Amino acid sequence: MALTVTDEICDGKPRLLVNWSKTKRNQVQEYYEPNDRAEIQRIIQINQGRKIRLLGSNMSPNGIGPGSNKGIALSTIRLNQILDLDGNNQLVRVEPGVKIEQLLEFLAKSKLTLHNLPSTNGMTIAGLVQTSCHGTGLHLATLEEALTEIKVINAKGDEVILTEANNGILFHSAKCSLGTFGVIVELTLKCVPSYYLRETLKVMSLPEARSDHEQRIETIKHVKYHHLPYTGHVVVYEYQEISHADYLEQVASSNVPIAPEEQKASLLQMYYDSFKTDLNHSTYCEFVEEYKAKSFADLREALLRKDVLNPDHIKAVNHAELDFWKKSQHSIVDQSNKRLIFECGGRQHVREFAFPIEAPMQELDLVDEILDLIQTQRIPAPVPIEQRWSCGSQSLLSPVYAETNPATSKFSWVGIIMYLTKNEDLNRRISEAFEAYYGQIVETLGAKYQLDEHLAKIGTIEGQNEGFMRYRSNRLSSRLKRFNQQREEFDPQGMFLSEAAAEILQ
């Protein structure tokens, strides 16, 4: 029985759910966007015995948001108020639909921020913590570790308050639980004072990056690598915290890269050579004058899509991009909020793994093996293979869960990507190629490096590698059993256990 209410945004009508990267879609029978907690409780009470999938902003690039079940979906996107700020204790209380961008703007007014930031700012706070999202920094935790209190409406329609002091491991499990404990309606997060960074972008050969890698990740607050397949190089981002005084002293002398048309010269030349029969320009100079305003991302995506499954073409594009990054090396000082978040690009397939670092250079060894696999198997792998770091989490479901000493445990995250086109027939072939790419990584390297997948990017239901899921289930069986026992306290009938979550938790 569908809930009948007067508000049109909570009407239980069918809705086509499409994720951010437009790679997954699902038509649900009833879709709700409640305005408040009372409406959430009514939806739960009237739909006892049925499944309810919970959604935020649907930013996950894979299928965990839309899912495949045709039943009920409930989004908390309308619960988007910042409720309170305790400046003395640096605590902020928010509703689940508050987006990262909104929260950062609010906190900046009080010279506060979060301890770390993900790549994109369109996610809701609930989605951010429920999937153990991360930024980068070897000594910095995933974002759910900022939580100090959660209020959740369980399957009975009761509102429950969870804290570490009162609930211990149950609280830590609920922090990162894919919405399976119930509908989160309020979150309290610990903030930190806002800070400034010196961002240094360097292009290095792989041996050069290795030479001072250990010191780099240990001493610099945020480090990120963008590995460039087929080139033997990596783009190294270093974000070192600096004082406000140093920021004021250095801001005027920040090293701004050269003119955009010079930065993009190799990409522009390749674009002209690839598309000149379709261009109305008699000379290359005329073409550059018109196309120099095109962004780096637009040029790269157009070039990739020219022959997206041809490894020789992708290799050439990657080398043109290498030239772009060599001409983009710089040192810039700015507020952390403005340097750590960036635009992730257009339609794409993404997978990301986390794994423990148990020996020096182990995380670079993994990437070397992936790069070798790309080379020997002639995989059309574009730039980048992104690599980031974090310490451990106290949440059982987090890919970086650490049984003991999470704050000193070391993990790395590695993400792979393939871009999609406007041609859906071609996209099916790209999807097959991407799944084969991913499959070779998990089959050859999964057990060796103890890989676990980012919960927001895991390939649930369709396209999942069965062998890897069996390996994952066996390796995590004890943790998953403990998590499911705690989840069942809140939801014994599995009202909030979507088919995607069930696949992950089996």
Q: How many CB atoms lie within 10 A of CB 12?
A: 21
CB–CB of 178/144 below 8 Å? no
List, for residues 1-50, the tens digit of each pLDDT value.
333 333 444 568 888 888 777 777 888 889 999 999 999 999 999 999 99
Q: Distances from the Cα of 218 to the Cαs of 140, 198, 391, 414, in angstroms?
A: 11, 16, 11, 18
Domain boundaries, the chain: 15-75, 83-193, 196-338
To 5 degrees, how large is the angle CA 307–CA 429–CA 226?
60
Q: How many CB atoms lie within 10 A of CB 200?
A: 17
Average pLDDT over residues 333-347: 84
- Among 290-304, 371-385, 458-472, where is mean pLDDT lowest? 458-472
List, for residues 422-460, the tens digit of each pLDDT value.
899 999 999 999 989 998 999 899 999 999 999 988 764
User: Structure pTM?
Assistant: 0.94
Please give the structure tokens belonging to residue 411. 């993990």
Cα–Cα distance for residue pair 207/213, rounded to 1 Å: 10
Q: Distances from the Cα of 152 to the Cαs of 192, 210, 254, 405, in angstroms?
A: 25, 45, 46, 28
Q: What is the pLDDT of residue 326?
A: 96
- Among 79-93, 144-158, 243-257, 355-369, where is mean pLDDT lowest? 243-257
Q: What is the pLDDT of residue 28?
A: 87
Phi then psi for residue 346, to 5 deg, are -90, -150
Q: How many helices (H) and strands (E) does the chain have?
A: 19, 19
List, for residues 71-97, the tens digit of each pLDDT value.
899 999 999 999 999 999 999 999 999
HEC string for 366-407: HHHHHHHHHHHHCCCCCCCEEEEEECCECCCCCCCECCCCHH
CATH of segment(s) 83-193: 3.30.465.10
CB–CB of 303/380 below 8 Å? no
